[in-house]
Every structure is written in structure tokens, then in C-alpha cells.
Structure 1
């Protein structure tokens, strides 16, 4: 097991490049299964979720290897159409392989993603999209078998689900005829997936809008593609600078994808400057509360940014209300922030943050990916030393977080610990 030791109270200064986006590369890796050839994916972050995706591809009979910041996938001759329980449990978003496996192999056998029970669940929209395309789904013993010849269809999503949009796109690329996805998610990562599919020879248009059209059945081939920068990692570094003070610039990210976050940080008292490929933030005075922050589908305030921004706003003056509209259990970091001296009241989907003059170091535990990042942000602005445990959550979405922050002047180090029972 690994732990972060963070000594707070040291301003951050410098420039940091943002690695490739986790939420882009995972569906792109699934899409690589569709191409009967070699795909070279550049700017591919070294994350545990990426390794889990590569393990799934290898199990399916593909060649997958890493060379520096690039990953090479050869899906010339996949041999399997099942993803076993042990691999599905490795990452929550493993269901993204459903559309790709079904589209390429004609059938797919997967267990419930993340070990969740089937029944009322977040993947209902995924399954509805597959059924609309002509797939039949049999559910039994915690798993599902999908099969059938796919055909173009009009898919109307009841919610603009990112995962359901991606799965529908991947399956529709292999379907005969034209598919239209209405009320599609508009996130930049959807655009990135479309651009990768275009590189492979697919005919897809409309990503970034609420209507995506796919002309299925186009012959696909391998190709080379560079993944977009991770806007949530960029947000985390900006929130860290807001919490600790100092001046930081993040490079490689499109500032337009983070405009709702930078607007909040500006309102809180930070000086933010955006230009193509660069966002810089300076914080040299205490933060203050801002108007209510409501998470929403893109282009609204991203739910993944909620926890790191909340951590930064724990210190300072005034009050900030957060309304979490995307997920029910997205405040698991709050109790840990309270251990550090934060004053936060939660009622259902609403969290009220009352700014305090200071936070203090504490021993805390990461319970999820973005919540773990929030604890690091809070620790950088706290007095004394914090111990942050269960880093495997953070490793799912951040490549060497401690290295990037240390390069900015943070006092943070990772230590390995043996836990004895």
C-alpha cells in the first residue's frame, strides 16, 4: 500500500504539462478493437485504468504494448468475445467494451461492470442503445450475453450519458445503415472519440452537438492518433494552486473546455489568464465564497471538478453552496475534509461550505478518484503534515501526481507501507 505525505503551507510556482485524458483514452482503446490493423495512440497516460483496458484487449486476442507515452494496439485477429469478471472489476468504465466487442465479434459476454448487481443501474442507457441497434441481451448470474446483427437506428437517450453515447457510437460504426443518436453527450472526450474513429475510416459526424450521425459499415483500418489533454487533471492543478497560493500555469489543455471552472476560481479571488494551450492562475490573497456551483453535463460545471474545487474553497471567507446533479454519492470526500478542519454541511445533493481561516494536517483516506485528488488539494493548503491513504483510487486517473506537484514546489512524497493484519 502507498501513502502520500504532504506538508502544507508552501505556495506553488511553475509550469506543468497535462497528460492525456483518461476519459478519452479508455473509449479510444475500446475503439481500437474495431480496426483490423495496428493503432498507435500517442499521449496515452500511464494509469491503472489504462493498464486494465490493455489487459482486456490482450484477453480478447489483441496485441497491446506501451512504448513511452504511446500505446500500440494490433487488433488484426481478435479471438475472444468475453470479458471475465476479474477484468471487468478492474475499472468502473469497463462496460465501454460492450459496443466494441459486439460490433467487431457479433456477440459479447460481460459481467456487471465493477461488480454491480444487474437490475436498475447506470448501464440501462447503454443496454437500451444496443437493443435499439438490434442487439439482443440476455441477463443471468450477474452477467449478460449480447448478440445479433446490428443495423442503423434512431437512438434517443433520456439523459446525455457520456458512456451510453460512446457505446452507441462504437456499436453503430459496425452496424449496417445510418444511426442517429439524439440527446447525445457533448463532452470534448466525445469529440476526441469521433476524431479517432475518423482516423480509422469510420463515417461519424456531429460530436460536440446533441445529435451524432454514424454511417455504419465503412471499411476500417489502423491509424495513428494523439489523445487530448486531461481537462480534469488541469482543473486539479489549478485548484491546488488556488488552495496553496502562488502562480502556476498548465499547458497542453484547451482553456475553452474548462471555462466554467476558471470562472469559479476567478470569482473566488484568483487571477486567471487563458490563451491557446495555456491556463495560468495566480492566488496571492485569501479566497472567498462564490455563487452556487451546480454540476451539469457539458458545457456545464463538470462533476469531476466538484471535489477538487470544493477542497480549495474550504479555506477563506464566505460560503459556497454545491449542488451535485450528476451522481448521488459524490460527497464521500467531505468527512475527510472535515477531519482537516473544514466546515461543510451536507443534505442530500447539497453541500454548504463555510470558509475557515485555516486547515490542519490529518490522516485521511481516499475513497474515490476525484475525492482523493481533493484531499491532496486540501493538504497543500493546510498547516502541518497530512497522510493520505488508499492511493490506488488516485492512480486510476493521475499519472505521477506527486511528481508534477513536487516540480511546482509542493512538499509531497509517496511512501510504500506494509500493512500487517
Structure 2
């Protein structure tokens, strides 16, 4: 027998004429299927994710994908300002070490990881000043090739300064990165890529 797991109300918004969903009416259900193969030898299907809504008019199936058709609501109109990409900003902040002068990044999102990356840059002698969504990084006067370990371990992207430091100064010592524990996130590809370009490892440092 299938079991239903309610994850509570998700959101309230409108998706056009056929997609208005009320918060009070919307819940996410996970309906596990039988895990055993059928007598026909077909593989079991994955769990089905369904939306339970008072305005659902039909459920259709195309191949292995269930589709909900939701009637009612109103068209979505208005303006929404999208912030810049955090991951792009972090990579560009690390790359700014390569420039021997000020680098201005715009539309930088205001997030904890951005502040942590600023701390990484400052620990090697660069300046990083955030004003609104504009970030100015000046790495013209580097003073160290070993960023503070506590700063690097505050986020996953802290490790990205390894390549720019190595290219700029000829050597670098960077602590293992931290960040969210969301599974295996190896750094061996970074190391192997740098070695392929001639870098050498010695006492845990790259030269």
C-alpha cells in the first residue's frame, strides 16, 4: 500500500491563467511505488512527486512523467529584479588575484559566502570593498601566498584562489575547503589540472 508524506504548504504565487495555486491548497506528496519488479520484468519506477491542490482538474501521463494541469487563477504580471550569480561572483573574486590593479564586479549578491571570500582575499593582502551590489577588489599588493585557513574553510569556493595565487606568485599554500556537507566534493581535479600545467607538490604546497 502506498504511503503519503505531506511536506506542508510550499508557496503562494500565480503562474498564468492555468496555474494559480493557493498556499492553503497546495501540499507536496511523495507516493512511493512498489520496489519489486513486476512479473513482466520491467524495472520499478521511481517515487512519484505530486502536487495536491483544490484546483487540479486532471492528471495526465506522458512516458514516465506525470503532469498536473491546474486551472484557475490569474496571469502573472509585474517586475522582478534578479540578483547576480553567487557562484560566478566567487570565481571572479578569486580570478581578480591575477589582475595587478583594481577589479570592479557589479550585481554581486549580498550573501555570507561573498563576505567569507572577501576575508580570504584580505588575508593575502588584497583589498575587497563591497558597496551595495558593487565589489571592488585590488590585489596589486599581495603580501602572502597562504590565505588564512579559517577563512578558506568558511566556504567551499575558498579553494578557488589556489590557481590564481600559483599563477601570480609561483607558489601557494591553501587549506582544504569547507562549505556545506552535501556529499562527496573532491578537489583532486584541481590538483591534477595544476600538475598537468607543470605545478609541483611539496610539503602540502603547490609550486
Range into which the TM-score falls when normalised by the shorter chain: 0.5 to 0.7
Match of 2:91 in 1: 27
For the Cα contact (< 8 Å) 2:93–2:117, is it kept in 1? yes
For the Cα contact (< 8 Å) 1:38–1:72, is it kept in 2? yes
3-state secondary structure, aligned to 1:45: coil
Which of 146, 154, 170 in structure 1 is aligned with 2:206? 146
For the Cα contact (< 8 Å) 2:83–2:107, is it kept in 1? yes
For the Cα contact (< 8 Å) 2:155–2:179, is it kept in 1? no
Cα distance change, pair 58–126 in 1 and its aligned pair in 2 (3 A): same
Q: How does 1:36-51 map to 2 (within 5 A)?
A: 36-51=100-115
> Do structure 1's residue 82 and structure 2's residue 146 form an aligned pair?
yes
Deviation at 1:84, TM superposition (A): 2.5
Q: Which has the higher contact order (CA 8 A, sep 6+)?
A: 1
Q: Deviations over 1:34-59 (max 9, x none)?
A: 11111111111111111111111111
Which of 48, 55, 58 in structure 1 is aligned with 2:122? 58
Q: TM-score, normalised by structure 1?
A: 0.30
Q: Which runs of no fewer than 5 residues in structure 2 stay unpaired?
A: 1-7, 15-75
Q: TM-score, normalised by structure 2?
A: 0.60
For the Cα contact (< 8 Å) 2:121–2:147, is it kept in 1? no
Aligned length: 135
CA distance in 2, matches of 1:105, 1:29: 17
Cα distance change, pair 121–66 in 1 and its aligned pair in 2 (3 A): closer
Deviation at 1:15, TM superposition (A): 2.9
CA distance in 2, matches of 1:70, 1:108: 28
Q: Which runs of no fewer than 5 residues in structure 1 stay unpaired?
A: 1-5, 148-421
CA RMSD of aligned residues (A): 2.4
For the Cα contact (< 8 Å) 2:95–2:164, is it kept in 1? yes
Deviation at 1:11, TM superposition (A): 2.7
Structure 1 outlier segments of 4+, above 3 Å = 6-10
Q: How does 1:152-231 map to 2 (within 5 A)?
A: none
3-state secondary structure, aligned to 1:78: coil
Deviation at 1:7, TM superposition (A): 7.0
State which structure, 1 or 2, has the greater radius of gyration over its C-alpha atoms: 2
Q: How does 1:13-412 map to 2 (within 5 A)?
A: 13=76, 14-114=78-178, 122-138=186-202, 144-147=204-207
Cα distance change, pair 85–66 in 1 and its aligned pair in 2 (3 A): same
CA distance in 2, matches of 1:100, 1:79: 14
For the Cα contact (< 8 Å) 2:154–2:179, is it kept in 1? no
CA distance in 1, matches of 2:195, 2:120: 24
Q: Deviations over 1:95-150 (max 9, x none)?
A: 1111011111111111111189xxx96111110111111111135xxxx3111xxx
More helix by share: 1
